[in-house]
Amino acid sequence: MIRKGNLTDIDEIANLRINLLKEVNSNDYSYDWEEYRKILKEFYYSNLLSSEILCYIFEDNKEIVAMACAVLYNTIPLMHNLDGKMSMITDLYVL
């Protein structure tokens, strides 16, 4: 099942992002992951509420097995993007 993530998913979304970063940065253990987890949870909370980030959760038997997020933002209008609305896919992670 695919569903839109919500505030009750913040802990799991933060955990999945940290797992992703640990895999990508497997040779660097100097990060303060607990501090980063706290900051991530605050970020997801405020940005999910404002719809500046959309997270989609993929579940199998009610267990989250993947996620994908899109960050929505504005930039200076461009010739090919006159309203300046942009998005960036991030946190694409599959267990």
Looking at residue 87, its pLDDT comes to: 94
- Read off the tokens for 21: 């970063």
Looking at residue 10, its pLDDT comes to: 95
Q: Provide the 8-state DSSP code for 81.
A: B
Looking at residue 28, its pLDDT comes to: 67
Query: Which residues does the chain have with pLDDT short of 50?
Result: none
Looking at residue 86, its pLDDT comes to: 94
Close Cβ partners of 79 (under 8 Å, ≥ 6 residues apart): none
